[in-house]
Amino acid sequence: MSGVTTPPPSVDVVLPCLDEAAALPWVLGRIPAGWRAIVVDNGSTDGSAELARSLGATVVTEPRRGFGAACHAGMLAASAEVVCFLDCDGSLDPAQLPRVAGPVQDGTADLVLGRRRPTALGAWPVHARLANAELARRLRSRTGAALHDLGPMRAARRERLLALGLGDRRSGYPLEMVLTASAAGMRIEERPVDYRPRAGRSKVTGTLRGTRQAVRDMRAVLAAAPPTLLVIAKEPVPGRVKTRLTPPYTPEQAAALAEAALADTLQTLSGVPAGRRVLVLDGAPGRWLPAGWEVVPQAGGGLDERLAAAFGHATPGAPALLVGMDTPQLTGRMLAEPLSAAHRAGVDAWYGPAADGGFWALGLARPTAQLARRLLVGVPMSTGRTGAVLLERLADMTVRQLPSLADVDTARDAAEVAAVAPGGRFGAYWRSVNSSSEVTG
């Protein structure tokens, strides 16, 4: 009937597919009603894509080979709030997907993995089971989550997964998802699911070459140290912060805008995967400080010396990224992907330019006190050439540039940033104070 629209799916199910024609009819026939199957064809030669399309699935083509590449392509194609992942080989029953999606939908968990329970001898080869048990042991040690299986059936909210910036496109993708989810503070749980003999031979654990590649991929993910996130800030006290906002704002309003900007920045970074989060503070913390942040005092000296000293709080052997409190429009996705293990290779530093000629972020892949001082001490701060001078000092390093952002220094800056990021505390307070007759000038 014309004019009838199909309601959006309540859940999208991503099914990576490489020559799975034998299993597809059973798998697609058991997808829960109202959920959408997204079959990601990863180079099949057995007609899997055509068969899946004829059975009513949405089919996405991902020419780049790799389990992670297929999963990521499916997640990008998804539109539902909750997304599930499931092997397309018939080893897992799609009818049991609500077991893993349920805790995500009701808000009691952020990432749920299906803990496999074999239903028949041979369903789970001994070598694969032992390898999985060792990985699960390492995951428990690294994350603190009570995990026993790197379950291929899993569920999470799509936007939370995208914000993790997952970079692995091979066999390390499932492991990276769990590690980065934990590093981003997501709640991870398991639910039991049946594990049946698969149709055909596994492309990973079914071959010696595939097993070796999977081991290499996962070792690389495990070896990548999570970054230290550093924020340098002043306590938002009237008369000490955002003085260039007065007028038109009163010192109290300027301080409240500064507090909102700082709170938004800390909240955003709380969701970026990290080993540690450190606030390098001039003053005392307040109720704006989220849980999970260490607070250390700023060093003395000029801003250049204080910025350099902040890197002394980084975890040895891990990259570190330093940001200020002036960019409440910052999003987690701006940082998570550049800092992910897969995108770090060959990168020495990260640089975030500010629209006024300064910089809002500086990251170092191998931070040391000596390197930080060489780069920062003596750089003229708060000028139109600040960023250019720093880039000159970074000239012998491989630098990944982050998006350009506007610092909140003037009333015009505040208006522009509030328009870009209306949903945070900064945007809300800016609208509130500007609708008031108390604003002067």
Q: How much is the average pLDDT of 189-201?
A: 86
Q: Is the dihedral of CA 155, 189, 115, 134 positive or negative?
A: positive
Cα R_g (the chain), whole angstroms: 25
What are the tokens at 70?
């297929």
Is domain 11-223 annotated with CATH 3.90.550.10? yes
How would residue 441 be classed by pLDDT, with cut points 50, 70 and 90?
very low
> What pLDDT is recorded for position 201?
61
Query: How high is the mean pLDDT of the chain?
Result: 91
**2 pLDDT more than 50:** no
**378 pLDDT more than 60:** yes
Bridge-partner residues for 229, per DSSP? 277, 321
Task: Give the other-Cβ count within 10 Å of 127's Cβ.
Answer: 10
pTM of the model: 0.85
Residue (of 309, 317, 280, 284) closest to 297 by Cα position:
280
pLDDT digits (tens, 9 = 90+) for 322-340: 999 999 999 999 999 999 9
pLDDT digits (tens, 9 = 90+) for 51-97: 999 999 999 999 999 999 999 999 999 999 999 999 999 999 999 99
The more confidently predicted of residues 414 and 199 is 414
> What pLDDT is recorded for position 7?
62
Q: How much is the average pLDDT of 411-440?
A: 88
Domains 11-223 and 228-434 fall in the same CATH topology? yes
Q: Helix 173-183 vs helix 208-223: angle between axes, to the nearest 10 degrees?
A: 20
Does residue 116 contact residue 193 with C-beta atoms inside 8 Å? yes
Q: Is the dihedral of CA 85, 87, 91, 95 positive or negative?
A: positive
Q: Phi and psi for 354 in degrees, rounded to 5?
A: -100, 150
| Measured torsion, CA atoms of residues 202, 206, 210, 212, in degrees rounded to the nearest 10 | 140
How would residue 198 be classed by pLDDT, with cut points 50, 70 and 90?
confident
> What pLDDT is recorded for position 233?
97
Describe the strand order of the beta sheet including 82-85 as a list of residue ranges. 58-61, 36-41, 11-17, 82-85, 154-157, 111-118, 188-195
**132 pLDDT more than 90:** no
Domain regions of the chain by residue span:
11-223, 228-434
Task: Give the other-Cβ count within 10 Å of 48's Cβ.
Answer: 24
Q: What is the 3-state secondary structure (H, E, C) of the chain?
A: CCCCCCCCCCEEEEEEECCCCCCHHHHHHCCCCCCEEEEEECCCCCCHHHHHHHCCCEEEECCCCCHHHHHHHHHHHCCCCEEEECCCCCCCCHHHHHHHHHHHHCCCCCEEEEEEEECCCCCCCHHHHHHHHHHHHHHHHHHCCCCCCCCCCEEEEHHHHHCCCCCCCCCCHHHHHHHHHHHCCCCEEEEEEEECCCCCCCCCCCCHHHHHHHHHHHHHHHHCCCCEEEEEEECCCCCCCCHHHCCCCCHHHHHHHHHHHHHHHHHHHHCCCCCEEEEEEECCCCCCCCCCCEEEECCCCCHHHHHHHHHHHCCCCCCEEEECCCCCCCCHHHHHHHHCHHHHCCCCEEEEEECCCCEEEEEECCCCHHHHHHHHCCCCCCCCCHHHHHHHHCCCCCEEECCCECCCCCHHHHHHHHHHCCCCHHHHHHHHHHCCCCCCC
The more confidently predicted of residues 64 and 198 is 64
3.50.50.60, 3.30.750.24, 1.10.274.10, 3.90.550.10: which CATH number matches 228-434? Answer: 3.90.550.10
What are the tokens at 430?
């800016």
> What pLDDT is recorded for position 214?
67
Q: Which long-range contacts does 435-438 make (Cβ < 8 Å, 24+ apart)?
A: 438/250, 438/253
> What pLDDT is recorded for position 10?
87
CB proximity list for 366: less than 8 A, separation 6 or greater? 319, 348
61-97 burial by CB neighbour count: b if 16+ within 10 A, else e?
ebeeebbbbbbbbbbebbebbbbbbbbbbbbbbbebb
